[in-house]
Amino acid sequence: MQPVWKSICAVDDIPVLGARVVKRSGQHDVAVFRNDADQVFALLDRCPHKGGPLSQGIVYGERVACPLHNWNIELQSGCAAAPDEGCTQKFSVKVEDGKVYLDVNELMGQTAEAA
């Protein structure tokens, strides 16, 4: 399916080394992260470990530390850094003219993780 990009917020609306939560109806939230190189990443806001809200974690490099048990999740892939194992769903992100876009089809799609 073709991506349908929708502007979610400006890059500057996300704190540097922080995150914002994107609410979805009937599905788990999505977290959008910004690192200090102004890269933006989007992951399902659930740690693969015990479902902790990753949006609330400390962001460093290209990782976020889950606030519940400090698993370190790669922002690029959504996968836990070794030795922990597990991945959370990642979402496509596009940044253009300082705006952050997510793919509506992907956001609305039913996913296994969102069960």
Partner 1 sequence: MKKLKLVMVGNGMAGVRTLEELLKIAPDIYEITVFGAEPYANYNRILLSPVLAGEQTVKDIMLNDVDWYQENGITLHLGKKIAKIDRSKRIVIAEDGTTAEYDRLLLATGSNPFILPVPGKDLQGVISYRDIQDTNAMIDAARQYKHAVVIGGGLLGLEAANGLKLRGMDVTVVHLPNWLMERQLDPTAGKMLQKSLEDRGLKFLLEKNTKELIGDADDGKGGRVKAVRFTDGLEVPADLVVMAVGIRPNTTLAESAGLYCNRGIVVNDTMQTYDPRVYAVGECVNHRGTAYGLVAPLFEMAKVCANHLGNFGIGRYQGSVTSTKLKVTGIDLFSAGEFMGGEGAEEIVLSDPIGGVYKKLVLKDDKLVGACLYGDTVDGSWYFKLLREGRNVGEIRDTLMFGESNTGRPGDTGHEGFTKAAAMPDDAEVCGCNGVCKGTIVKAIKEKGLFTLEDVRKHTKASASCGSCTGLVEQIVMATAGGDFSASPKAKPMCGCTDHTHQEVRAAIKANKLLTIPQVMQFMEWRAPNGCSSCRPALNYYLISTWPHEAKDDPQSRFINERAHANIQKDGTYSVVPRMWGGETTADELRRIADTVDKFKIPTVKVTGGQRIDLLGVKKEDLPAVWQSLGMPSGHAYAKALRTVKTCVGSEWCRFGTQDSTLMGKQLERALWRMYAPHKVKLAVSGCPRNCAEAGIKDVGVIGVDSGWEIYVAGNGGIKTEVAEFFVKVKTHEEVLEYSGAFLQLYREEGWYLERTVHYVARVGLDYVKKRVVEDAGNRKALYERLLFSLDGEPDPWHERKQALVDERQFAPLTV
> Which residues here bind partner 1, judged by CB under 8 A?
6, 8-9, 13-18, 20-24, 29, 32, 35-36, 50-53, 56-61, 63, 65, 67-68, 70, 72, 83, 102, 104, 107-108
94 half-sphere exposure, CB direction, 13 A CA radius = 12
Least distance from partner 1 to the Cβ atom of residue 38, Å = 13
Taking alpha carbons only, the member of 115, 93, 105 closest to residue 27 is 115
DSSP state of 56: G
DSSP state of 112: S
Between 4 and 96, name the residue whose CB sits nearer to partner 1. 4
Least distance from partner 1 to the Cβ atom of residue 87, Å = 18
